[in-house]
Structure 1
Amino acid sequence: METAADVEACLPIRSDMDLVRVRQHVRQAAAGFGFGLVDQTKLVTAASELARNTLVHGGGGRMEAALVVDGPVSGLRLVFSDEGPGIADLDLALSDGYTSGGGLGMGLGGARRLVHDFGIDSAPGSGTTVTVISWSVRPPRPRKES
């Protein structure tokens, strides 16, 4: 059963500089939670695409990051949310080759392939929330008692 810690960070996404901060935070958090370089890169790439979508298509929003634990495995959960126009056709937006332009060219489908768990909640007029989890291969390190 998956359990989540308190939100580790909540970062605004309102400008291109915020996109840089999101990428930096995700890389540092993934490295700190024991992700290897390849898994860090995959998660940062997905986060970059999702953050850009939040800014460009959703008019801005936020990213929340938290450590999640499922038995002996830990992961990083990222939630991107906005109050923009929403996505009219989720199936089309998630299909391979679909792009609305302006991003990294991989779209939501590409971001979905880079993470282990992917969920999206969106409807026209109600904004969009995308939740992703990438699992590390190592459990969190036990804390040393003083």
Structure 2
Amino acid sequence: MDGQSCVMIMNEWDIVAARQLGRHAAKELGFGAVDQARITTAISELARNIYHYANGGKIYIDKIEEKEKKGIKITASDHGPGIPDIRKAMEDGFTTSGGLGAGLPGVKRLMDEFYIDSKTGEGTVVQVVKWLR
């Protein structure tokens, strides 16, 4: 499939740009309105985490193809403080910002595949995939 798009996340407008790019890619791939909304919501959560906790990072959006399947892969990458306790961060309702705590567990529910790697003091990478049905 054709290439990768990337959005630097430095301010709130970058979150909007990443959402728009993701929605456009999802629409191009043939995702319906509900899955487009799931994908843009996941991107929004990941980008917001970068903005609030890591003082910047990147959102990569890839159109992917595996065997007979097509999908979209979102990678959120930063060099922030990292997540000290991933298991706790994956609990529903966990929040360090006073928000609703839907964050990472919500992203995991919205997407088909979820991977996270975080090292304290080095940063975090979250990779999620949604497959076209």
TM-score range, shorter chain: over 0.9
**Deviations 1:20-45 (CA, angstroms, capped at 9, x unpaired):** 10111111110000101110101111
CA contact (8 A) 2:60 2:76 kept: yes
Quote the RMSD (CA, aligned, Å).
Answer: 1.4
Alignment partner, residue 42 of structure 1:
38
Letter in structure 1 aligned against 2:119: A
Secondary structure, aligned partner of 1:42: helix
Q: Which runs of 5+ in 2 are unaligned?
A: none
How many angstroms apart in 2 are the aligned matches of 1:128 and 1:69?
A: 25
User: Sequence identity, in percent?
Assistant: 43
TM-score, with normalisation over the residues of structure 1?
0.86
Confirm whether residue 54 of structure 1 aligns to residue 29 of structure 2. no
**Higher Cα radius of gyration:** 1
1:10 deviates by 1.1
How many angstroms apart in 2 are the aligned matches of 1:105 and 1:15? Answer: 21
SS at match of 1:57: helix
The amino acid that maps onto 1:75 is G
CA distance in 1 between partners of 2:128 and 2:49 (Å): 14
Partner of 2:11: 15
State yes or no: 1:79 paired with 2:75.
yes
- In structure 2, how many angstroms separate the alpha carbons of the residues matched to 1:124 and 1:81? 14
Aligned match for 1:110, one of 93, 106, 112: 106
Aligned-partner residue type, residue 65 of structure 1: I
Aligned residues: 133
5+ unaligned residues in a row in structure 1: which ranges? Answer: 138-146
How far residue 102 of structure 1 moved from its aligned partner, in angstroms, is 5.8
| Deviation, structure 1 residue 105 | 4.0
Contact 2:4 2:63 in 1 (8 A): yes
